[in-house]
């Protein structure tokens, strides 16, 4: 339907009908208007599976949904660093939605992992905005290629579950732009989601649903978003203000209560009816976009999609430690220990919970390779040590050559709705690991969790495989990696700190009352740990393989550039091992010397490649202004400081293997507001300003002291050259009056300030 036809349709609606269109008909449908032939449109929870509910509705995973396929959660798919794979997953989800008549799947969830204990981190992608935006963008592109919409969420700064419906995320402008808006920006610009979901929380005191600056000025004005914005379920605060801000659709239904407020506001003149018309047009655009892309004959093959889930899961699992114990061989006597070996925790709790038709555990899948012994070892229903189960596990482990322990975080610790109190695993699982290590020196840990955990037992074990929450086929993928059918290729999309207290948000998470101050600024995750040179358990971007990769021949097509230019970067990667494998090539940028405080490394691009043994491929990156820029709050824009930058190629943020320097020249001068309180140093940092100021900086007192022959006196020692230079650097312009011996007047200084501000 054309825009003109949509406008014509809206013109035929009554005021009451238009108000009704801006609210859900129920939990999952937009309103239908039969007299005008406008159909209802169904949305459904996601984003790593279809949680379609037929009758009862809840949005929290309480009531049962249809049988579906659970793919790996965001914590795992991000670890794949494989855009093409996630697009393929998205296309599969789209086909399922088409088969079920779902127009929009509610996801991806792409909030930044500010703290490792956020209860919903399993659903989110990364601590890094580039990774979050690129992986979310890949899913969006995949889903929408099948004629089904997505709803990128939760916009904006929804980084905790504690008081999530009322808390205020208090964040400075630079941090918002570089970190929290950054993830959404790339996904919106590259993949054009059909809808955006506004979050519950406030941002700097104003509800996200009422933020015109972000919903209209930034999202639509700067980024070109052309869909509709819906509320998170129950996030509406002031319906009329939200419409004016650009929040179009309230979900779920308010049973007509907020519709009345809209009608009243239009009638009394506090809401322009044109604003309401625009919201209705946006909603109808998406309703008809799905109708025109509808595939009523779509066939949903759950078995085929289950195998797709296994394929994806193989690339979501990160090998964290391997002391010559993996891959396993079938001739060894192997024990699988832990509840999650037979009943895996493969997804998180809450609104993304999928009602899986088929679940493959490691015990189910290991028969493809060999026979193993099994002991449960613990129950995840309560953190209680069951001595009978523990004794059985120790016995089984003592009789095996290799003991593989399947442990992690249960739903009672990690779920939507609440945050974890710490990064610890259940005591009964840690105790199980300790006891097994006492009787068997060949221990491998398989972790089922959606976020980092502390690992006090790490030195005692020989192998650790981070399986994350990798969907209903996770067991098959786990054994495929354990036995070497597949070489692990995932990398950590987040830092694993040694302990929770190391995290930069530790002192301000989850805030005081309803106020959450993001005091760490842009130093989230590796940006903080790397700048501090702090020991971590495993760094951002880290992950082992069963083969080895060698990097060489890093080249830049230029050694200097203006910030309006681009630089092409190439690097050769060779598989020097004996097994085929995939490698994630990571490109970081470092500003060598900056006036603003910046991270040591910032990830600016990544590429995943597959290489056969002995094969070499050349990886190409193209970097423009944004790769070197920070967000300047004076310009309210992205800005590059003139100077040297290092282009760094790494296997992780801590393992930089190659680097080259490039000089970047800024084409934009940042205006400075000079006052009598401006220091001489402020002028020295701007060569043009300093040349103008030199004739006015008559500091006869210092010059006299410097010229006197007082080498043997206490005065000469006290008034050393370095000390005098420092005193001059940090002197405000008003201070020149006191040290010029009368050669500079106040009128002179005022004249100087005026000249500087007219540059």
Catalytic residues: 232
Rg of the chain over Cα atoms, rounded to whole angstroms, equals 30
CA–CA separation, 110 and 45 (whole Å): 14
Torsions phi, psi of 337, nearest 5? Answer: -130, 135
Distances (CA, A) of 127 to 39, 114, 124, 305, 493: 40, 6, 9, 29, 7
CA–CA separation, 300 and 241 (whole Å): 42
Measured N-to-C along each axis, helices 273-292 and 257-267 cross at an angle, to the nearest 10 degrees, of 130
CA–CA separation, 38 and 18 (whole Å): 12
* Chain CA centroid to CA 27, Å: 28
Q: 677 and 668 in contact (C-beta within 8 Å)?
A: no
Region of residue 623 (left: phi > 0; alpha: psi -120 to 50; beta: else)? beta
Q: 25 and 40 in contact (C-beta within 8 Å)?
A: yes
Q: Residue 512: which residues within 8 A CB-CB, separation 6 or more?
A: none
Buried b (16+ CB within 10 A) or exposed e, 424-452: bbbebbbbbbebbbebbebbbbbbbbbbb
- Which of 78, 251, 110, 93 lies closest to 183 in space, CA to CA? 110
CA–CA separation, 174 and 181 (whole Å): 10
Q: 548 and 577 in contact (C-beta within 8 Å)?
A: yes
Environment class of 4 (CB within 10 Å of its CB; exposed 0-12, middle 13-18, buried 19+): exposed
């Amino acid at each position: 339907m054309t825009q003109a036809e949509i406008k014509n349709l809206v013109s035929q609606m009554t005021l009451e009908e238009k108000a009704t269109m801006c609210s859900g008909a129920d939990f999952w449908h937009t309103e239908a208007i039969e007299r005008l032939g406008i159909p209802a449109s169904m949305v459904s929870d996601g984003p790593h599976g279809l949680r379609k509910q037929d009758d009862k509705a809840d949005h929290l995973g309480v009531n049962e949904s249809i049988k579906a396929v659970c793919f790996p959660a965001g914590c795992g798919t991000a670890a794949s660093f494989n855009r093409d794979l996630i697009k393929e997953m998205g296309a599969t989800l789209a086909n399922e939605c088409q088969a079920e008549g779902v127009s929009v799947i509610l996801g991806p969830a792409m909030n930044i992992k500010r703290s490792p204990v956020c209860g919903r981190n399993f659903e989110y992608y990364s601590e890094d905005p580039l990774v979050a935006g690129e992986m979310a963008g890949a899913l969006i592109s995949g889903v929408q290629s099948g004629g089904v919409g997505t709803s990128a969420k939760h916009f904006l700064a929804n980084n905790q579950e504690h008081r999530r419906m009322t808390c205020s995320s208090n964040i400075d402008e630079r941090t918002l732009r570089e970190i929290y808006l950054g993830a959404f920006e790339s996904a919106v610009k590259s993949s054009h989601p059909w809808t955006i979901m506004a979050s519950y929380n406030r941002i700097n005191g104003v509800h996200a649903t009422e933020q015109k600056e972000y919903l209209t000025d930034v999202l639509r004005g700067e980024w070109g978003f052309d869909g509709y914005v819906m509320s998170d379920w129950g996030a509406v605060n002031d319906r009329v203000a939200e419409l004016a801000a650009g929040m179009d659709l309230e979900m779920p239904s308010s049973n007509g209560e907020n519709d009345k407020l809209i009608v009243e506001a239009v009638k009394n003149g506090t809401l322009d009816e044109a604003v309401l018309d625009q919201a209705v047009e946006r909603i109808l655009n998406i309703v008809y976009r799905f109708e025109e892309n509808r595939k009523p004959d779509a066939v949903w093959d759950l078995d085929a999609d289950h195998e797709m889930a296994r394929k994806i899961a193989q690339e979501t699992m990160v090998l964290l430690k391997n002391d010559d114990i993996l891959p396993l061989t079938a001739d060894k006597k192997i024990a699988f220990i832990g509840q999650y070996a037979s009943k895996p925790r493969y997804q998180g709790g809450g609104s993304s919970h999928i009602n899986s038709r088929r679940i493959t555990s490691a015990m189910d899948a290991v028969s493809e390779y060999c026979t193993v012994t099994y002991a449960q070892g613990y129950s995840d229903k309560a953190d209680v040590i069951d001595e009978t189960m523990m004794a059985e596990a120790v016995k089984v482990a003592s009789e095996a050559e290799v003991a593989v322990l399947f442990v992690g975080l249960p739903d009672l610790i990690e779920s939507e709705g609440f945050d974890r109190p710490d990064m610890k695993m259940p005591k009964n699982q840690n105790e199980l690991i300790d006891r097994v290590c006492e009787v068997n020196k060949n221990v491998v840990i398989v972790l089922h969790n959606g976020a980092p955990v502390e690992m006090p037992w790490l030195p005692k074990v020989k192998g650790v495989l981070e399986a994350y929450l990798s969907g209903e086929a996770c067991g098959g993928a786990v054994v495929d990696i354990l036995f070497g059918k597949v070489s692990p290729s995932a990398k950590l999309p987040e830092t694993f700190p040694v302990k929770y207290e190391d995290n930069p948000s530790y002192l301000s998470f989850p805030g005081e009352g309803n106020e959450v101050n993001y005091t760490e600024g842009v130093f989230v995750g590796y940006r903080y740990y790397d700048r501090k040179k702090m020991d971590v358990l495993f760094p951002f971007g880290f992950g082992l393989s069963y083969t080895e990769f060698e990097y060489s021949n890093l080249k830049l097509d230029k050694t200097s550039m203006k910030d309006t230019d681009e630089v092409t970067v190439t690097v050769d990667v060779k598989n020097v091992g004996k097994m085929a494998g995939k490698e994630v090539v990571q490109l970081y940028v470092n500003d060598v010397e900056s006036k603003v405080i910046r991270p040591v490394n910032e990830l600016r691009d990544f590429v995943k490649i597959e290489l056969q043994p002995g094969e070499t491929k050349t990886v190409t990156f193209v970097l423009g202004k944004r790769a070197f820029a920070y967000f300047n709050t004076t310009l309210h824009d992205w800005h590059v400081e003139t100077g040297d930058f290092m282009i760094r190629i790494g296997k992780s943020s801590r393992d930089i293997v190659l680097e080259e320097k490039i000089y970047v020249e800024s084409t934009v001068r940042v205006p400075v507001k000079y006052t009598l309180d401006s220091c001489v140093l402020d002028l020295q940092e701007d060569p043009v300003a300093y040349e103008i100021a030199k004739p006015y900086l008559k500091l006869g007192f210092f010059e006299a002291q410097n010229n006197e022959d007082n080498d043997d006196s206490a005065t000469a020692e006290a008034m050393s050259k370095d000390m005098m230079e420092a005193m001059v650097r940090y002197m405000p312009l008003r201070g020149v009056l006191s040290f010029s011996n009368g050669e500079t007047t106040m009128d002179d200084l005022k004249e100087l300030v005026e000249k500087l501000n007219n540059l």
